[in-house]
Amino acid sequence: MSNAFDFPGGIHPPERKQRSNQATLIDAPLPGRVTLPLQQHSGQPATPCVAPGDTVKVGSVIAQREGMISSHLHASISGTVREVSTTQIIIDSDGQDEWNRLPSIDWQRAAPNALFERLNESGIVGLGGAGFPTHIKARVVERHTIHTLVINAAECEPYITADDLTLRHYASDVLEGAQIIAKLCGAQHIVIGIEDNKPEAIEALRQAIQKSQPITVELKVISTRYPSGGERQLIKRLLDLNVPSGGLPADVGVLCHNPGTLLAILHAVRDGQPLVSRVVTLTGEAISQPGNRWVRLGTSIKELLEQVGLDHTALHQVIQGGPMMGAPLLTLDTPVTKLTNCLIAATIVELPPAPVESPCIRCGECESVCPVSLLPQQLHWYARANDDAKMERYHLFDCIECGACSYVCPSHIPLVVDYREAKSRIRLQRIETAKAEYAKHRFEFRQARLAREEAEKQARKEARKSQQRRTPTSAVASSEKVDLRGLRIAHAAAKASVKKAEKTLARVAQEDPKQPLDDLEMQLATAQENLKAAESQLAQAKEQQAASAPSQSEESS
């Protein structure tokens, strides 16, 4: 059970998982209407591709990804589009639940590109909470060598049992999803990290592991301690590898996935089923039938909780996510999204409001529980003094916002709230200082777009000309020398800069999911415009050469 490797600090909050892990995983009733926000993932919101009045089936694409770090969105029920706004799409159900599935793929034989494309068109994002588009994460192999795929089943937050129940019911499917990802990223090892408070899931995995192939899967049961489910903390505990500060697990050859995401990947590949539903833990003392449900995305949280016996009078607050890192909902009129893993309908006795804050007495409890070995009390001091430079010096951006420090603080100081505010303030400042740079990038993008349009116009003109030319005489043809080699080099350079822009973007987006990405998306778009221009110039040059070559050969013969 115990493990030689460990991360510093950590806490043991009350688990309270029994409330939701007793019942089996069942489907929630089909909603009569769904509200689908255009942004249910990190990066740019998707762009709607349907209009009010359109009929859709389950799985029809209703919004397309915008830019690189973004994700498609699909109808989660069949029916009629009722409303399309800048932030969301509302669909009314026809009660039929008709599906629009993609063809099944045999992943063991399929080419990687077909699988990447399937992940992209299925709109899969990380279901553990970060919401990072899976198709980008899967392409990690283009930039890094991965040796181990880690399945993060630690689920260390109190209350949440979604991964636990997913594994009890779908252990072998989750492992098959892991095999797909392992194939795509070239990992030779698959390791599952799970906390020892989930004996049924562990047993289910033990059974499933024996049949999982081609890569053997290793099951590592770790003792329960918050926050073992943090990506860096889990990698440290399972593999004794330190993910560098500001880096990614891929930097040490590791890729981390949540069981729910792996199951969604298998459903997309094997069954051609896009991401239209997810497992949500419904728990808390204010509902009478707690448990886990398969919920269609866009289902109203209010309706969902009422279906499981919400007692409005007993309800104090609904928390989305876990009690440590989640956030209270201001209104229940909000839909379940790809990121909703848990809803806690808590009574006031269960999760009372935090007592009034008192001064920090520098007791150092926060330091002893910090899983990253930061000095939370020093950060607190500088946060209250708005000393951002000092905060960065004390590694503010290494904070994983797990809330262990706030949890043990005897003065009830909401430390993590302070850190979050400081982080977003610093992010804004960075944008402010880089504004001139951004303007330059926007200008470059415009230039590149104009150049591309010009090149394409030129190409069309040439194409028309050469068609007219071909019929009468060939005499006038290209006396001008075509610099095919130069164009080929330019094309290759443009392609390389697109790759580079993609790499930077993917990296930044994963390192700090809350960092705005507009500027990097703009730079990528510029590179793409340049590539298109180079492509059309090259194509045009090739055509010219092809047109002139036969005529020359005719003359010479």
Q: How far apart are CA 194 and CA 374, in angstroms?
A: 26
User: Which of 394, 502, 532, 534 is in the footprint of other proteins by CB under 8 A?
Assistant: 394
Pick from 1, 111, 330, 475 the residue near other proteins by CB under 8 A: 330
Residue 247, both tokens: 């880096």
Residue found by looking up tokens 């034989």 in the block: 109
x/- map, 150-189, other proteins, by CB under 8 A: --------x-------------------------------
Taking CB under 8 A as the binding criterion, the range among 171-179, 260-268, 274-282, 390-398 that sits at the site for other proteins is 390-398
Using only C-alpha atoms, what is the Rg of the chain? 27
Q: Which residues pair with 509 in a beta bridge?
A: none
**Residue 324 makes contact with other proteins by CB under 8 A:** yes
Bind-site residues: 360, 363, 366, 370, 399, 402, 405, 409
Interaction mask 366-385, other proteins, x per CB under 8 A: -xx--xxxxx-xx-------
Among the listed residues 32, 199, 364, 550, the single contact to other proteins using CB under 8 A: 364
Through-space distance between the first and last CA atoms of the chain, rounded to whole angstroms? 83
The whole-angstrom distance between residue 498's C-alpha and the CA centroid of its chain comes to 21
What is the token pair recorded at 46? 């998707």
The site for other proteins, by CB under 8 A, has a size of 78
Helices (H) and strands (E) in the chain, counts: 16, 17
Is residue 156 classed exposed, middle or buried when 0-12, 13-18 and 19+ CB atoms within 10 A define those classes? buried
Which region among 103-111, 194-202, 354-362, 442-450 touches other proteins (by CB under 8 A)? 354-362
Separation CA 139–CA 116 (nearest Å): 7
Q: Does 420 bind other proteins (CB under 8 A)?
A: yes
| Residue placing its CB nearer to other proteins in the complex, 183 or 423 | 423
Residue 431 binds other proteins, judged by CB under 8 A: no
Q: Between 300 and 377, whose beta carbon lies closer to other proteins?
A: 377
- The residue within the footprint of other proteins, chosen from 355, 471, 472, 553 (CB under 8 A), is 355
CA distance 480 to 471: 20
Binding residues for [4Fe-4S] cluster: 360, 363, 366, 370, 399, 402, 405, 409
* 238 is a contact residue toward other proteins (CB under 8 A): no
CA-closest candidate to residue 257, choices 72, 129, 142, 121: 129
CA–CA gap between residue 201 and residue 165 (Å, rounded): 7
Residue 471 CA to residue 171 CA, distance in Å, equals 67
CB of 60 to other proteins, least distance (A): 24
Is residue 352 close enough to count as binding other proteins by CB under 8 A?
yes
**232 interacts with other proteins by CB under 8 A:** yes
Q: What's the CA gap between 71 and 64, in Å, rounded?
A: 7
Q: Of 96-104, 202-210, 272-280, 406-414, which segment contacts other proteins by CB under 8 A? A: 406-414
Q: Does 430 bind other proteins (CB under 8 A)?
A: no
The answer to the question of residue 76 lying near other proteins (CB under 8 A) is no
Site string for other proteins, 273-312 (x = CB under 8 A): ----------------------------------------
What is the rounded distance in angstroms from the CA atom of residue 443 to the CA atom of residue 100? Answer: 42
- Say which residues have a Cβ less than 8 Å from residue 463's Cβ, sequence separation at least 6: 540, 543
Residue 7 vs 116, nearer CB to other proteins? 7
Residue window 20-59: x/- pattern of binding to other proteins, with contact defined by CB under 8 A = -----------------x-x-xxx----------------
80 SS3 class:
strand
Distance of CA 280 to the CA centre of its chain: 17
- Residue 312's Cα: distance from chain center in Å? 34
The correct pick among 351, 422, 524, 534 for binding other proteins (CB under 8 A) is 351
Using CB under 8 A as the binding rule, whether residue 253 contacts other proteins is answered as no
Residue position matching structure tokens 């440590």: 324
